[in-house]
């Protein structure tokens, strides 16, 4: 993942990079569960407001 791009004294481009790691499986499950709960809550609120 590039963080910074700059030129040095000899006009060469330099890129500062960082390594990134993906989410662990349990984090993915937790995120999916939270999104599902939020989506269901929004759907319930929307249905309730129509009545």
List, for residues 8-36, the tens digit of each pLDDT value.
899 999 999 998 888 888 889 999 999 99
Residue 51 scores a pLDDT above 70 = no
Distance CA 47, CA 51 (A): 7
Total residues found in the chain within this entry: 51
Tokens of 11: 């006009």
Which of 12, 20, 15, 11 is closest to 2 using CA atoms? 15
């Amino acid at each position: 993942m590039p963080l910074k791009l700059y030129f040095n004294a000899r006009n060469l481009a330099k890129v500062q990079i960082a390594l990134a790691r993906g989410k662990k499986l349990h984090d993915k499950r937790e995120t999916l569960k939270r999104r599902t709960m939020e989506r269901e809550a929004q759907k319930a609120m929307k249905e309730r407001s129509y009545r």
